Amino acid sequence: MRSGGASPLKGDITVPGDKSISHRALMLSSQALGTTTISGLLEGDDVLNTAKALQHLGVNIRQSNHVWEVDGVGIGGLAESDSVLDMGNSGTSTRLLMGLLSAYPFTTFFTGDDSLRSRPMGRVVTPLAQMGAKVTARTGMKLPLSLTGSPDSMPIDYHLPVASAQVKSAILLAGLNTPGITTVVEPQPTRDHTENMLRYFGFKVKTEKMDDGAVSVSVRGYQKPEYENRTLTVPGDPSSAAFVIVAALICPHSSVFIRNVCVNLLRTGLITTLIEMGAKIELHNERDVAGEPVADILVVHSPLKGITVPASRVPSMIDEYPILAVAAAFAEGVTVMEDLAELRVKESDRLSAILESLQACGVEASAEGDTLSVTGGKPRGGATIKTRFDHRIAMSFLIMGMATAQPVTVDDVTSIQTSFPNFVNLINGIGGHIRDLRNPTVRRHHEPLVVAVDGPAASGKGTLARRIAEHFNLEYLDTGSLYRAVGMKIVYAGKEPSDVKAAEEAARSIDAEDLANPRLRQERIGQAASIVSAFPEVRQALLDFQRKFAGSSRGAVLDGRDIGTVVCPKADFKFFVTATLYARAKRRHRELQGQGIEVIFESVLDDLRERDERDEKRSIAPLRPSEDAFIIDSSTHDADAVFDLVRQVILRKYPALAA
Ligand code: S3P
């Protein structure tokens, strides 16, 4: 793929779920009691590999509409896998599962892709062997390996030689299944998602800070967790948000709002560093979600200055050095990053990958021992980067190309699937220009455009859809009116809206004329519509009508609740308009008042809350953004601003439509 010449980045977005938390959510749910329901899980290859491995180990895991359910087997309840566990590219899955399995009296075989097979596993094998596990591995303690757990596992008191959350977590997971108290002392604090989530499930974990800055974490084995049937929401990944943050900082006139990002202090070293470099980054709406601190992040283009990033910051920004190095290439002066030895054993030798790639882009950079120095300025770009199947290298240099004088090409983007599957669409959606060189998007004028606009009641989706249609000369269908038409036919035929058969028949007979009937706007028809829209038979019957409409030779805009997900999953553009319940209720209240209808605000609010619930909970086509939808929060933007954003997004992809 090639990245070049981005426009100013503008958008109100979310990034996929946190990878570290997602792995732990699946693993710890398997150890919990009852069924855990997880939303926001990162559905990237790495996490899917964890899910698959757990299934091989006898855990029941289901997914529907991106909500995951895991039936806990409890401590000691995993079963031997009858096949080799292929962990793909994922070091976290491998190391944490090795820990989890280290007290089971059976053998598990692990392997992975080229990158994972070259990474050292000795760091987890050493403590697990002390607890009693037996590991046979390739030279250098590399995959493939076999691990035979010990039924007489012994608790240990282990001082980590390197600060590693993966090793800490592996030992704690082994400790869960070992009698007595297992303690890990880490020289510097590393991400504590395992501890936070254990506590969220009601396991007791003790964390103590020592005088020298080290941290000791202990867990007692065979605990019964306090809670059952937990519900868990995974927040956005700060390591994925990092790419958007740096992109906005280096592309002039950018301003991006990223919602719902995990801001655990042990993960936000990059934000601290960028702020020290002069970045304008603000955290808003800080809150706690399932035991993790979460916030919305506003980032605005800023001139940056080079600084020295101390070794003490390594654990809290371990995965962000590639993208920090890109930021440093645009900063004034020299940025020095100390003590990067750990980067050499990531998905690739990241230290040399960063160095080689920066130099290829004309940036002055050097490494002395494990210290990297980057002299910033106006980088030339114009190179092809060898990504070494490392997702963070691929994404970092696609971001770099957005602001270099010449475009930057990366040789392989498949690795991006491991952690940030919608990276390219998301970046292009806010103003990036990343092209697939093998499969360029060439829009021929004879292909009609299809635009999907979804969102909850009173989000402003109708206004937006109408304006898009008018501006780009497209047909417009308010699909809500289809359900109203079904409701109208039933009510006026003297039947009950709950009569599924009648509703299905009515749905099959809808024609364009019904949609213009002024009765559609009546309140009782709206209520009937809300009932019939939950019937799968009705939705199915209306699908044909909607799809035919979308196929109109002039091109079409459809607004509704499942256009991007069900009706037109291949739409050229998918927008999902939302706003807080309060903002929507205000809007609807004002609208009703404008029509001379007097209602109290609270009842409008309650009404919308109920509708949201019905929309989100219905078993068929529930309201949710399509994964590749561009999400717009209209609570903070007025209708003009929303339309302007959408127009820009469309024109950026198809500039010819400006004419
Ligand atoms: C991770 C810990 C870090 C990090 C990796 C995820 C985790 O690795 O680089 O991407 O989820 O625990 P180390 O523990 O090896 O530093």
What is the position in ligand 1's atom list of the atom closest to the CA of 315? 16
Q: What's the CA-to-centroid distance between 46 and ligand 1, angstroms?
A: 13
> What per-residue confidence (pLDDT) applies to 624?
86
> What per-residue confidence (pLDDT) applies to 659?
61
Q: Provide the phi-psi class of 60: left if phi over 0, else alpha when psi is between -120 and 50, else beta.
A: beta
List residues near ligand 1 (CB under 6 A).
20, 92, 164-166, 169, 191, 318-319, 342
Distances (CA, A) of 23 to 259, 487, 599: 21, 45, 48
What is the position in ligand 1's atom list of the atom closest to the CA of 123? 15
Q: What's the CA-to-centroid distance between 318 and ligand 1, angstroms?
A: 8
What pLDDT, in 10s, does the model give residues 144-189?
A: 999 999 999 999 999 999 999 999 999 999 999 999 999 999 999 9
> What per-residue confidence (pLDDT) applies to 440?
60
Distances (CA, A) of 143 to 321, 391, 430, 455: 26, 20, 40, 46
CB 172 within 8 A of CB 127: no
What is the position in ligand 1's atom list of the atom closest to the CA of 96? 12
Distances (CA, A) of 158 to 120, 437, 560: 19, 50, 56
Q: What's the CA-to-centroid distance between 513 and ligand 1, angstroms?
A: 60
- The closest alpha carbon to 281, from 296, 291, 266, belongs to 296
> CA-CA-CA-CA torsion for 110, 114, 117, 118, nearest 10 degrees?
-170
What pLDDT, in 10s, does the model give residues 530-577?
A: 899 989 999 999 998 899 999 888 899 999 999 999 999 999 999 999
What pLDDT, in 10s, does the model give residues 8-19?
A: 999 899 999 999
> What per-residue confidence (pLDDT) applies to 438?
78
Query: Is pLDDT at 54 greater than 60 in this prediction?
Result: yes
- Rounded percentage of the chain residues whose pLDDT exceeds 70: 98
**The pairing of beta strand 215-220 with beta strand 231-233:** unpaired
- Average pLDDT in the 475-499 region? 94
Number of residues assigned to the chain: 659
Structural domains in the chain, sorted by start: 2-16+235-435 (3.65.10.10), 19-233 (3.65.10.10), 450-658 (3.40.50.300)
Pocket test for ligand 1, best of 19, 20, 24 (most atoms within 8 A of CB): 20
> What per-residue confidence (pLDDT) applies to 441?
55
> What per-residue confidence (pLDDT) applies to 580?
92
Q: Residue ranges of the alpha helices (H) in 310-455?
A: 321-329, 350-360, 391-400, 423-429
Give every CB contact of residue 523 below 8 A, 6+ residues apart in sequence: none
What pLDDT, in 10s, does the model give residues 601-657?
A: 999 999 899 888 888 887 777 888 888 899 998 887 888 999 999 998 998 888 777
What pLDDT, in 10s, does the model give residues 357-369?
A: 999 999 999 999 9
Give every CB contact of residue 567 below 8 A, 6+ residues apart in sequence: 452, 479, 543, 546, 547, 550, 558, 560
Nearest CA to ligand 1 atom 10: 319
> What per-residue confidence (pLDDT) applies to 445?
46
Q: What's the CA-to-centroid distance between 345 and ligand 1, angstroms?
A: 11
Q: Residue ranges of the alpha helices (H) in 9-81?
A: 19-31, 45-56
What is the position in ligand 1's atom list of the atom closest to the CA of 194? 12
With tokens 């220009």, the residue in question is: 433
CB atoms within 10 A of CB 436: 11
What pLDDT, in 10s, does the model give residues 287-343?
A: 999 999 999 999 999 999 999 999 999 999 999 999 999 999 999 999 999 999 999
CA atoms lying within 13 Å on the CB side of residue 281:
28
Radius of gyration of the chain (CA): 27
Residue 635's φ and ψ, nearest 5 degrees, are -70, -30
> CA-CA-CA-CA torsion for 355, 356, 360, 366, nearest 10 degrees?
40
What is the position in ligand 1's atom list of the atom closest to the CA of 191? 12
Where is 294: in which H helix or E strand? Answer: strand 292-300
CB 584 within 8 A of CB 607: no
What is the position in ligand 1's atom list of the atom closest to the CA of 162? 16
> What per-residue confidence (pLDDT) applies to 69?
97
- Average pLDDT in the 185-201 region? 98
Query: Is pLDDT at 442 greater than 60 in this prediction?
Result: no
> What per-residue confidence (pLDDT) applies to 6?
79
Distances (CA, A) of 21 to 63, 151, 498, 585: 17, 28, 43, 34
What is the position in ligand 1's atom list of the atom closest to the CA of 23? 11
Pocket test for ligand 1, best of 191, 237, 316 (most atoms within 8 A of CB): 191
Where is 548: in which H helix or E strand? Answer: helix 536-550
Beta bridge partners of 281: 299
Where is 530: in which H helix or E strand? Answer: helix 523-532
Nearest CA to ligand 1 atom 5: 92
- Average pLDDT in the 385-397 region? 97
**How many whole angstroms separate alpha carbon 146 and alpha carbon 52?**
18
As annotated, the active-site residues are 319
Nearest CA to ligand 1 atom 16: 164
Nearest CA to ligand 1 atom 13: 164
**How many whole angstroms separate alpha carbon 451 and alpha carbon 473?**
12
Question: What DSSP character marks residue 34?
Answer: S
Nearest CA to ligand 1 atom 11: 20
Q: What's the CA-to-centroid distance between 493 and ligand 1, angstroms?
A: 63
Give every CB contact of residue 617 below 8 A, 6+ residues apart in sequence: none
What is the position in ligand 1's atom list of the atom closest to the CA of 346? 9
Q: Where are the beta strands (DSSP E) in 450-605?
A: 450-454, 475-478, 556-560, 573-578
Q: What's the CA-to-centroid distance between 386 and ligand 1, angstroms?
A: 23
Pocket test for ligand 1, best of 42, 115, 166 (most atoms within 8 A of CB): 166
* Whole-model pTM over 0.95: no
Q: Tell me the two tokens of residue 424.
A: 């390219």
Q: Which amino acid is at 405?
A: A
Q: What's the CA-to-centroid distance between 173 and ligand 1, angstroms?
A: 15
Q: What's the CA-to-centroid distance between 400 and ligand 1, angstroms?
A: 24
Q: What's the CA-to-centroid distance between 166 and ligand 1, angstroms?
A: 5
Q: What's the CA-to-centroid distance between 92 and ligand 1, angstroms?
A: 6
Q: What's the CA-to-centroid distance between 508 and ligand 1, angstroms?
A: 54
SS (H, E, C) 146-202: EEECCCCCCCCEEECCCCCHHHHHHHHHHHHCCCCEEEEEECCCCCCHHHHHHHHCC
- Rounded percentage of the chain residues whose pLDDT exceeds 90: 82
Q: What rounded mean pLDDT belongs to the chain?
A: 94
